[in-house]
């Protein structure tokens, strides 16, 4: 190896980047959500377009086509979510009187306006999720290319969303700065805390709202093949613990992904109904839209 | 290469005009045993090798052969018990290799649809003329063996070309099981004919649950019951379709067939609400009664893209 491989330029106290400072959970200021809420749950519902002919740069995105072109099988299994599964999820949320945050690819906004209209009509929140699943933000893009993708995404919505989720949750080291430049107020890619965190950029600040990879329906049910019973019971355990931690750490949050082609399947939707019933029964737990959390967070710092 | 196949238009699941199945039933249930022949020494397709590992693969080959020698009989007798007719997803070369199985199906008045010639011969790389020959072969082989004119298609091993759906429509097929975007039938945008996208419920296919997801039999039974219950509930608003696509080499294993019976028992306890049908019967009912109303409603949603499959309207030129 070249000698440079054993040079450690960032080897010093604290983080190895400047977006935020090193701070342990016990030292963070306690936050308090509305109505004495000890734990806020945010449902993040991805509305994604999976192209039949992906570039797969710099990697194959989760849920991408798997068999040779034309992979009608995976294209249509994913599209099921946008046509059928998402409406099942919306009906279930609506019956429980709960609002979610829908992370939308620009391609979906362009192709399926009735879906976006339905999300807005039910007063859910729209979060931008890049151009498509295959439009991954990465270090190999020039700043101009990446900014153009962000701007083009914003332009595909009638009202500019305040929140951003990156396709594959992948960022370049410039993404946060470019998001701030495009007037985004919060981002759902980072999850190093159990409550929101400010990130600094050369342009300005942006909030980072945690989003649980380990409790996502995509991770547990789709990738790892766990049962719906297990998904439900793991979320319940997390809720119990986070409520118990309230006295020590203040109000916390849990970002939970509900993937239309996963939890929106006929054989799985019962688990979401059961989860919403459980949340309703629990003291101190409330479902928040991501924008509402961010506002309350910003008002307290 | 296209980003979007453009084989169907966007059609939100809510607010669709009501479908009612014959007798006012809410859910059309069909069961699709795949009766397949996997070759011992198939030729290689440059896009996909026929067997995992190396060819031949004796464990995999003989497990498929178990389906033909043991499994189908077990499954047929189970379906007899519940008075269910199968819609057979057939590798048509099986008519040549194992005509006894075809006779068993004919005796039971089961329907056949084509699942290609062999499950080890893929559509990748076929010219339209070659794919046309596969379709003609399918039609003629099944007609000769059973007297039936096939009306449904599921491409072998779910392998396609851009021409597949246009070709099956051109050959007067009524339904395709190749697309999984919905729990209700929908008109497909082929150049000619009236081709229905028939829900084939891939997620509850035993290959997916057993071979891909690694379920145990009890979990599969629970899944089938829940899938059925939810679609029956929604069928009240507008008729839904549930298919159970099966493979005897998996579901008819000795440790799985009895737990599977529990799912059938649950479904068959709803005789008043469920139309037990075959693929062709569902497709015909949809074409005769709901084709026009579906197209009108899709049009009213304002998001028709025009063109046909893999042949979009190019705007602005």
Query: What pLDDT, in 10s, does the model give residues A261-286?
Result: 999 999 999 999 999 999 999 999 99
List residues of B whose CB lies inside 8 A of any A CB.
1-5, 7, 10-14, 47-48, 124, 158-162, 178-183, 202-204, 213-215, 219, 223-224, 226-227, 230-231, 234, 301-303, 310
- Chain B residue with CA closest to A53: the answer is B3
SS3 track for A246-276 = HHHHECEEEEEECCCCCCCCCCCHHHHHHHH
Per residue in A105-127, pLDDT tens? 999 999 999 999 999 999 999 99
Cβ contact B224–A267 (<8 Å): yes
Cβ contact B10–A114 (<8 Å): yes
d(CA B97, CA A44): 52
User: How many CB pairs lie under 8 A apart between chains A and B?
Assistant: 104
The pLDDT of residue B315 is 58
CB nearest A72 (choices: B5, B182, B223): B5
Mutation target among A92, A115, A228, A266 for the B interface, most CBs of B within 10 A: A266
Mutation target among A47, A64, A81, A83 for the B interface, most CBs of B within 10 A: A83
Are residues B279 and B113 in contact, defined by beta-carbon separation less than 8 angstroms? Answer: yes
Q: Is residue A6 part of a domain?
A: no
**Architecture of the domain defined by B25-43+53-300:** Alpha-Beta Barrel (3.20)
Per residue in B278-297, pLDDT tens? 999 999 999 999 999 999 99
Cβ contact B14–A79 (<8 Å): no
Number of domains in chain A: 1
> How many CB atoms neighbour CB B233 within 10 A?
14
Residue ranges in chain A modelled with pLDDT below 50: none
CATH number at residue A80: 3.20.20.370
The pLDDT of residue B317 is 43
Does residue B299 register a pLDDT over 60?
A: yes
Structure tokens at A121: 């009509």
State the residue range of the domain holding A224: 30-300
Q: Is residue A179 part of a domain?
A: yes
| Spans of all domains in chain B | 25-43+53-300
DSSP A282: S
Strand, helix or coil at B21? strand
**Distance from the A109 Cα atom to the nearest Cα atom in chain B, whole angstroms:** 12
> Where do we find the tokens 């067997």?
B51
Does residue B253 register a pLDDT over 70?
A: yes
Whole-number average pLDDT of chain B? 97
The pLDDT of residue B314 is 73
For chain B, the C-alpha Rg in angstroms (whole number) is 19
d(CA A135, CA A238): 32
Nearest one of A89, A86, A117, A76 to B186, comparing CA atoms: A76
Q: Is residue A3 part of a domain?
A: no
Q: Is residue A21 part of a domain?
A: no
Instruction: Examine the predicted complex and report whether its ipTM is higher than 0.85.
Output: yes
What stretches of chain A show up as alpha helix (H) in DSSP? 72-80, 86-95, 106-111, 113-121, 143-155, 175-181, 217, 228-244, 246-249, 269-281, 290-300
Q: Is residue A4 part of a domain?
A: no
Does residue B38 register a pLDDT over 80?
A: yes
Nearest one of A213, A219, A187, A218 to A200, comparing CA atoms: A187
Q: Is residue A23 part of a domain?
A: no
Q: Is residue A15 part of a domain?
A: no
Q: State how far the alpha carbon of B68 is from the alpha carbons of A222, B37, B64, B77, B78, in Å.
A: 31, 8, 7, 14, 15
- Chain B residue with CA closest to A81: the answer is B181
Per residue in B81-134, pLDDT tens? 999 999 999 999 999 999 999 999 999 999 999 999 999 999 999 999 999 999
Q: Is residue A163 part of a domain?
A: yes
């Amino acid at each position: 190896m070249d000698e440079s491989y054993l040079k450690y330029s960032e080897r010093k106290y604290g983080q190895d980047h400047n977006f935020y400072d090193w701070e342990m959970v016990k030292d963070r200021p306690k936050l308090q959500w509305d109505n004495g809420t000890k734990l806020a749950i945010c449902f993040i519902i991805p509305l994604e377009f999976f192209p039949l002919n992906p570039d797969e740069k710099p990697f194959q995105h989760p849920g991408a086509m798997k068999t040779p072109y034309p992979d009608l099988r995976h294209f249509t299994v994913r599209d099921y979510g946008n046509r059928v599964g998402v409406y099942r999820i919306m009906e279930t949320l609506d019956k429980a009187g709960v609002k979610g945050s829908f992370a939308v690819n620009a391609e979906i906004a362009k192709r399926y306006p009735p879906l976006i209209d339905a999300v807005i009509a039910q007063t859910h929140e729209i979060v931008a999720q890049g151009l498509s699943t295959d439009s991954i933000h990465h270090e190999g893009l020039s700043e101009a290319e990446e900014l153009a993708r962000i701007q083009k995404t914003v332009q595909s919505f009638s009202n500019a969303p305040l929140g951003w989720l990156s396709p594959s949750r992948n960022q370049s080291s410039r993404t946060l700065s470019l998001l701030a430049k495009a007037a985004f107020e919060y981002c759902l890619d980072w999850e190093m805390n159990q409550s929101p965190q400010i990130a600094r950029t050369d342009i300005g600040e942006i909030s980072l709202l945690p989003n649980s990879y380990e409790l996502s329906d995509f991770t547990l049910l789709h990738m790892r093949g766990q049962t719906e019973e297990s998904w439900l019971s793991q979320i319940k355990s997390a809720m119990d613990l986070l409520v118990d931690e309230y006295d020590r750490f203040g109000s916390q949050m849990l970002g939970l992904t509900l993937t239309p082609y996963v939890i929106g399947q006929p054989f799985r939707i019962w688990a979401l109904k059961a989860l919403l019933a459980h949340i309703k029964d629990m003291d101190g737990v409330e479902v928040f839209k991501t924008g509402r959390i961010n506002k309350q967070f910003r008002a307290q710092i | 290469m296209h980003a979007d196949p453009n084989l169907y238009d966007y059609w939100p699941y809510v607010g669709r005009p009501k479908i009612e199945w014959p007798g006012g039933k809410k859910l059309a249930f069909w069961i699709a045993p795949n009766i397949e022949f996997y070759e011992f020494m198939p030729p290689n397709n440059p896009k996909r090798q026929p067997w995992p590992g190396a060819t031949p693969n004796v464990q995999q080959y003989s497990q498929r052969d178990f389906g033909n020698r043991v499994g189908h009989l077990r499954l047929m007798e189970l379906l007899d018990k519940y008075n269910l007719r199968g819609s057979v997803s057939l590798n048509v070369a099986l008519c040549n290799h194992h005509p006894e199985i075809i006779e068993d199906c004919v005796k039971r008045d089961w329907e056949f649809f084509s699942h290609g010639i062999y499950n080890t011969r893929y559509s990748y790389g076929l010219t339209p003329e070659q794919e046309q020959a596969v379709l003609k072969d399918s039609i003629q082989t099944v007609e000769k063996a059973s007297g039936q004119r096939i009306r449904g298609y599921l491409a072998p091993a779910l392998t396609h070309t851009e021409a597949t759906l246009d070709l099956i429509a051109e050959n007067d097929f009524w339904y395709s099981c190749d697309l999984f975007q919905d729990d209700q039938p929908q008109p497909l945008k082929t150049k000619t004919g009236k081709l229905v996208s028939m829900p084939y419920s891939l997620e509850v296919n035993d290959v997916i649950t057993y071979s891909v997801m690694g379920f145990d039999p009890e979990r599969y039974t629970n899944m089938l019951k829940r899938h059925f219950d939810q679609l029956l509930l929604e069928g009240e608003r507008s008729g839904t379709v549930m298919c159970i696509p099966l493979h005897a080499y998996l579901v008819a294993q000795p440790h799985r067939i009895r737990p599977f019976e529990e799912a059938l028992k649950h479904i068959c306890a709803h005789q008043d609400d469920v139309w037990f049908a075959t693929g062709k019967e569902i497709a015909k009912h949809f074409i005769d009664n709901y084709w026009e109303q579906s197209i009108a409603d899709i049009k009213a949603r304002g998001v028709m893209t025009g063109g046909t499959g893999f042949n979009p309207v190019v705007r602005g030129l």
